[in-house]
A and B are shown apart, each in its own frame.
Chain A
Amino acid sequence: MSPALAQPARALPESIGLDEFVRRADADPLPLAARYQLVAAARVLLQELYVHLPLKRAMHATDPVQALRLLEHRLAPLSEPQFHCELAGVFRGLHDLHTVYQLPEPYRGHVATLGFLVERYADRDGTPHHVVSRIEPSLVHAGFDVGAELSTWNGVPIERAIERNAAAQAGSHRDARLARGLESLTLRPLRTGPPPDEHWVLLSYRTPGGRRRETRVPWRVRAVERHAGRVQDPVPTLSTGLGIDTGSEATRHIKRALFAPPRRRRPAVRTRGGVLDHRTLRRRGRPYGYLRIFSFNVASARLFAEQVARIAACAPAGGLIVDIRGNPGGHVPAAESALQVLSGSPVVPVSFSLPTTPAALELARSHPGFGGWANSIRDALQTGEPYSQGFPLTDPETITAGLPRHAGPKVLITDALSYSAADIFAAGFQDNGLGPVLGTAPRTGAGGANVWTHELLRVWLPELLGDLPRGAGFRVALRRATRARGNVDVPLEDLGVQADEVHRLTRRDITGRNQDLLAAAAELLG
């Protein structure tokens, strides 16, 4: 007999129903001309400035430029949601979370959420379990709480539901897609992808007490961040030094707002206090420093590095555990500067290359900061190289001059959601021998690029890139990152950083405070 269907008694705070949000969004559709404008702009951007185009064509057998041409031919009959879905789909096919279509108003800065998180662990025999690991208190009902184990999702076995979700994600490799498939069960950034089709989900679960139940939880929509009275994207429109998955940064903000302990909700999420946390751990009587870097989305590399240096300086002699799980990236110079102060000796930064297209050449010639790249792009006309010569984005040693360095033992914890600037951080950690990399997945998220907005590129290429309608936009991987030292010239995109050791998360990790994971890390420190 089927158990009675429950549902939360209260709605998620500070949110509106998905149905209402969609109704508002669809009430004022983009004119057809605006759709053409967007598709044409996307084509120019991908063809002329997307640095990974050759790689993606080879690795994923995809031709986004042709896909956009085809889309251009069948724009008129598409409904508003279909249009956004199709255009976002072309970008999703790149398997590159940097390079995204950003839906117009009112999608900016909004995330659809169910108000809880699902995480996965496996028994020793490999049997997977999917449990509620965090839940907003107002949604707790009928034993649906932290520790509840899910069995079906809208009537689909949970494992299969995640696989299906994963297939719809833009992650570079299977682990990354699976991680995102899991996260997107309950969190969907609406700026970079279409809203969920269903307005609620039907869940079968076993309560922490072992009772089987069913519930219906509605999708709700929350604004990520407000600034000057307006809903904003949580990632700067203007920065030239970004390497970030904007969707994950948006969901990070929502996770923090819903699930962080009250004291952690207070600092603004993009302040240094909002991206860093630290404490001292004890394992087998020995103290270790624990540094959590939630994001590199900060304004100043120097100030960020100062903070990291201060924390590292207080770490016990037993060693420092640096944890960048779920870090969506951010300001690349900040990541590289942080790495610098965590290293006893100078760290060789990753290199960045531009595509060798005419537009990249025009950019390199008009933007004074790109002078170094111009010659090799010009020469590519003869050499046929698809990428320019690579140069570091900056010299983190200069940025961190005078700051104390942490020469003690370290271990880095990564996962398949550690992305872009976090990939770069992990690569630097490994390539420069700072210590072992302990992954909860075999590889990091595998985003290796410096990403710019269409709006920022327009400042420098006004003749090539035009206005976009209603706050719609694009972000594009402009400069690709390749590794240093022993891995010189190895790209990070699609490959990521291979963990030296893998620790599969346990139930205690997920529902507790990562005890087993941290014990494994401490073990590596000796």
Chain B
Amino acid sequence: MALVLRGTVVTFDSDHRILDPGAVYVGDDGRLAAVRSAGQDPPAGFSGAPRIDTGALILPGLIDLHNHLAYNTIPLWEAAGVPYLHHDRWVGEDQPPGYSASVTWPAKVLLQAAPEALIKYVEVKALIGGTTAIQGAPRSTRPVDGWLLRVIDNEKLPAGTDMVMTAALQLDPGVLRDDRAAKLDGTRLLIYHVAEGRPGSIVHREFDELEPCLKPGLVGVHGTALTAPDFHKWQQAVAAVDAAEKGTLVWSPFSNYWLYHATTDVVAAHGKGLRIALGSDWSPSGTKHVLGELKVADAVNRHVLGGSFSDRDLCDMVTANPGDALATAWGPQVGRLKRGSAADLLVLERHDPARDAYRNLINATERHVRLVLVRGRPFYGTSALMAAAGAGDTDPLTVAGLKRRVAVRQPDRADARLDWPGVRRALRTVRDDPVAAWHDSQDALASWGGPLDDPDAPLALFGDMPEGDLGAFAAAEEVPPDLVVPRPDTLTHDAAYFAAVARSGVPQLQHLAGYYT
């Protein structure tokens, strides 16, 4: 429905205007009909639209440009062998808690035994942190466009075509050269993990293999082993195709420090002209959502990088910058508030009135997220704002001690039947008896000889990360009899999470808890 939201509108437009008071006009089509000062007349068709005076900051929904949704019910993995040299090293970790037992198997079982519940749970987790678009969809037997969030990998904007290619595992150099590079024609994106490891490690060669793809549309994830000359080469190559374009590097500082005790040289990358976006990576080695990751970036900026980035720069990393990167494929749709943009919105309490909007965003926790709209539809927020925004069929949940409501079930989608209690129940059923749940799911899959795009077909999801050593069971479509599925990772950065961070002893990560006290 058409809707008017009033408050302090932080546009992230090209001039970074802040309209205070301002208003955003959400059209029936899920787009912004206008973004104006509150005193201006509404656009045509909005005179009778419901109006919500939020008294809060209105921002573009946050964009998480690097994630692996399939794994986000798994708690932090306190791996024995840290720091690892690069991404191939922790995959084989068999010292308890081993990688495959702690990460791969639980995720694998949930992906097949409770796919809808899993995805909805991790979507809610992201919504709680103000996320409206997220990258890292699991592979699936039919596209899950996102029941709640905009899932970047599967989104079909603007013309009903999926223009985003992704790869969390490295592709063969020949495929990069002959296929992906050719497809990067200025209309498509390739979101690609590259050089994830400590500087000087062997994974640097992945950057050399990626050379044919150093074009507009390439979004490099991690790049922790890259150096200033690499960033220079990358940006030069992009600019040689289109002088106005920038390469995009996705920074996931928490995960980098957690696994490698080192992170990307984002100052050098920024200095060479690359655009920096943030990604929370995955819960086994990441933050709960990109709002949490923003605080890690802020802490690293202040304590390690000498404050090279302004508050606004940091906030751009979760809004305008990823939005601009996605614009190559989608057009100017997300990350900036202006007429015609997607109505992906975050309403955030101005919890520190003495400070500007950007610092308020950086310091905000889950407690300060008041309302989240995706495609103009309210999915999460306070009871009052959800009701005012017209949300129906909502369920209560408690977030960091506060009551919130979430709209998980969508009556108009045949493949999204679970409500929030149903999601919790389905996950608990798998945890209670993972072997039985696995067999039930395999029986259902084995019974289906129909087309996979049938809405009644069982949905199967597959993780996008390396599996490690699964022994003989995986290929036989079996599970180990002693498999344990942990409790779903909590929805907020809580005491248990900070206790694990404290146990890690990684100094750069110890500042995070301070934002939550």
* Least distance between A273 CB and chain B CB atoms (Å): 14
CB of A228 within 8 Å of the partner chain:
yes
Interface locus among A29-37, A81-89, A360-368, A414-422? A360-368
Check B445–A398 contact: CB distance below 8 A.
Answer: no
List chain B residues, Cβ under 8 A from A225: 449
Establish whether residues B447 and A238, one from each chain, have CB atoms under 8 Å apart when the complex forms: no
Contact partner of B450 (CB less than 8 A), chosen from A227, A337, A366, A456, is: A227
* Distance from A433 Cβ to chain B, minimum over Cβ atoms (Å): 22
Which one of B379-387, B457-465, B504-512 is at the interface? B457-465
Q: Are A463 and B450 in contact (CB under 8 A)?
A: no
* Chain B positions 423-451 with a Cβ under 8 Å from a chain A Cβ: 439, 442-443, 445-451
A236 in the interface, Cβ–Cβ < 8 Å? Answer: yes
Contact in complex: B449, A237 (CB < 8 Å): yes
Q: Are A238 and B450 in contact (CB under 8 A)?
A: no
- B172 near A361: Cβ-Cβ < 8 Å: yes
Is the CB of B175 closer than 8 A to any CB of chain A?
Answer: yes
Residue of A nearest to B171 (CB): A365
Question: Do residues B475 and A236 form an inter-chain contact, with CB atoms below 8 A?
Answer: no
CB distance from B35 to the nearest CB of A (A): 36
Query: By the criterion CB–CB under 8 Å, are A369 and B475 in contact?
Result: yes
* B107 vs chain A, min Cβ distance (A): 11
A52 within 8 A of B: no
Q: Tell whether A109 is near chain B: CB-to-CB under 8 Å.
A: yes
Please tell me if the beta carbons of A108 and B478 are within 8 angstroms of each other in the complex. no
- Contact of B476 with A228 in the complex, beta carbons under 8 Å: no
B472 near A394: Cβ-Cβ < 8 Å: yes
Complex CA gap A455/B449 in Å reads 11
Across-interface contacts of A292 in B (CB, < 8 A) = none
From A234, A399, A455, contact of B478 by CB (8 A): A399
Contacts of B478 in A (CB 8 A): 300-302, 333, 399
The residue of chain B having its C-beta at the shortest distance from the C-beta of A250 within the complex is B449
Look across to chain B and name the residue whose beta carbon is closest to the beta carbon of A459.
B139
Q: Mark B124-166, 1 if CB is under 8 A from A, else 0.
A: 0000000000000001110000000000000000000000010
Among residues 443 to 493 in chain A, which have CB atoms less than 8 Å away from a CB atom of chain B?
455-456, 459-460, 463, 471, 473
Q: How near does chain A come to B90, taking the closest CB pair, in angstroms?
A: 14
Contact A227:B172 (CB < 8 A) given known A300-B478, A303-B439, A333-B478: no
Q: Does A371 reach chain B (CB closer than 8 Å)?
A: yes
Residue in A299, A393, A455, A460 whose CB lies within 8 Å of B451? A455
| Residue among A300, A365, A378 with the highest chain B CB neighbour number at 10 A | A300
* A503 at interface, CB cutoff 8 A: no
Separation of A471 and B448 alpha carbons in the complex (Å): 13
One of A232, A337, A371, A394 near B448 (C-beta < 8 A): A232
Query: How far is B451's CA from A233's CA once the two chains are assembled, in angstroms?
Result: 9
Q: Is B174 an interface residue (CB 8 A)?
A: yes
- Give chain A residues whose Cβ lies under 8 Å from the Cβ of B474: 369, 394
* B442→A237 contact, CB < 8 A: no
A-side contacts of B443, CB under 8 Å: 299-300
Q: Is the CB of A395 within 8 A of B471?
A: yes
Q: Is the CB of A368 within 8 A of B465?
A: yes
* Contact assessment for A230 and B475 in the assembled complex, using a CB-CB cutoff below 8 Å: no
Given contacts A300-B439, A393-B475, contact A237 B140 (CB under 8 A): no
Using Cβ atoms and an 8 Å threshold, which residues of chain B touch A230?
450, 454, 456
Residues from 385 to 443 in A contacting B, C-beta threshold 8 Å = 393-399
Do the beta carbons of A301 and B452 come within 8 Å of each other?
no
Residue of A whose beta carbon sits closest to that of B435:
A302
Partner among B141, B172, B174 whose Cβ is within 8 Å of the Cβ of A459: B141
Kindly state whether residue A514 has any CB partner on chain B within 8 Å.
no
> Contacting A333 at CB < 8 Å: which of B178, B449, B450, B475?
B475
Question: What distance in Å separates the Cβ of B103 from its nearest Cβ neighbour in chain A?
Answer: 12
**A206 contacts chain B at the CB level, 8 A cutoff:** no
Q: Which of A300, A369, A455 contacts B467, CB < 8 Å?
A: A369
* Shortest Cβ gap from A194 to chain B (Å): 20
> What is the interface size of chain B, counting residues whose CB is below 8 A from a CB of the partner?
44
Interface centre among A227, A236, A238 (most CB of B within 10 A): A238
Contacts of B473 in A (CB 8 A): 394, 398-399
Which B11-64 residues sit within 8 Å CB-CB of chain A?
none
B451 touches A227 (CB 8 A): no
A460 touches B139 (CB 8 A): yes
User: Any chain B CB within 8 A of the CB of A8?
Assistant: no
Contact of A371 among B449, B451, B466, B472 (CB under 8 A): B466
Q: Does A358 contact B (CB under 8 A)?
A: yes
Known: A232-B450, A236-B449. A333 touches B175 (CB 8 A): no
Chain A CB count within 10 A is highest, among B172, B179, B450, B460, for: B450
Most chain A CB within 10 A, of B140, B439, B449, B456, is at B449
Report the separation of the CA atoms of residues A225 and B460 in the bound assembly, to the nearest whole angstrom: 22
Contact status A238-B466, CB under 8 Å: no
Within 8 A of B (CB), among A205-263: 225, 227-228, 230, 232-241
- Shortest CB-to-CB span from A274 to chain B, Å, is 12
Chain B residues whose CB sits within 8 angstroms of the CB of A369 once the complex forms: 467, 470, 474-475
Quick one: which of B389-445 are within 8 Å of A by CB?
Answer: 439, 442-443, 445
Instruction: Please report the C-alpha to C-alpha distance between residue A109 and residue B451 in the assembled complex, in whole angstroms.
Output: 11
User: Is there contact, CB below 8 Å, between A237 and B450?
Assistant: yes
Question: Once the chains are docked, how many angstroms separate the CA of A473 from the CA of B463?
Answer: 25
Q: Which of B141, B449, B476 contacts A232 (CB 8 A)?
A: B449
Given A238-B460, A302-B478, A366–B167 Cβ distance below 8 Å? Answer: yes
Provide the bound-state CA to CA distance between A233 and B454, in Å: 14
Contact of A368 with B448 at beta-carbon distance under 8 Å, contacts A302-B478, A395-B472, A459-B140 already known:
no
CA distance A331 to B140 in the complex (A): 22
Checking B175, B456, B476 against A337 with a beta-carbon cut-off of 8 angstroms, the contacting residue is B476
What residues of A have a CB within 8 angstroms of the CB of B165 in the complex? Answer: 463
**B466 nearest in chain A by CB position:** A368
CB distance from B517 to the nearest CB of A (A): 39
CB proximity of B395 to chain A, nearest CB, Å: 27
- Residue from A299, A398, A460 with most neighbouring chain B CB atoms (10 Å): A299
A298 within 8 A of B: yes
Q: How far is the CA of A399 from the CA of B479 in the complex (A)?
A: 9
Complex CA gap A313/B79 in Å reads 44
A236 and B445 alpha carbons, distance in the complex (Å): 7
Does B170 touch A at the CB level, under 8 Å?
yes
- Write out the residue numbers on chain A whose beta carbons fall within 8 Å of the beta carbon of B439: 299-300, 303
| A173 interfacial contact with B, CB 8 Å | no
- Find the B residue at minimum CB distance from A249: B449
Tell me the minimal C-beta distance from A430 to chain B in angstroms.
22
Contact code string A302-326 (vs B, CB < 8 Å = 1, else 0): 1100000000000000000000000
- Residues of B within 8 Å of A399, CB to CB, are 472-473, 476, 478
Tell me the bound Cα distance from A440 to B158 in angstroms. 62
Which residue of chain B lies nearest to A398 when distances are taken between CB atoms in the complex? B472
> For residue A394, which residues in chain B have a CB less than 8 angstroms away from its CB?
472-476
Q: Which residues of A contact B447 (CB under 8 A)?
A: 227, 232, 236, 270, 299
How distant is A97 from chain B, measured CB to nearest CB, in Å?
17
Docked-complex contact A227 and B449, CB < 8 angstroms: yes
Q: How far is the CB of A289 from chain B (nearest CB, A)?
A: 26
In angstroms, Cα B175 to Cα A235, docked, is 33
Residue B496 lies at the interface, judged by CB distance under 8 Å to chain A: no
Distance (Å) between the CB of A241 and the closest chain B CB?
6
Give the residue name and chain of the B residue nearest to A372 (CB).
B475
**How far does the alpha carbon of A230 sit from the alpha carbon of B453 in the complex, in Å?**
14
Known: A227-B449, A236-B448, A301-B477. 16 other contacts (CB 8 A): A230-B450, A232-B448, A232-B449, A236-B445, A237-B457, A238-B448, A270-B447, A299-B439, A331-B477, A361-B174, A366-B169, A368-B466, A371-B467, A393-B476, A394-B474, A399-B472
Interchain residue pairs with CB less than 8 A apart (11):
A230-B454, A232-B447, A239-B445, A241-B476, A298-B446, A300-B477, A368-B463, A378-B172, A455-B452, A463-B165, A473-B451
| Residues of A near any B CB (own CB < 8 A) | 108-109, 225, 227-228, 230, 232-241, 270, 298-303, 331, 333, 337, 358, 361-362, 365-366, 368-369, 371, 378, 393-399, 455-456, 459-460, 463, 471, 473
Q: 3 closest pairs, A vs B, by CB? A: A233-B449, A395-B472, A299-B446
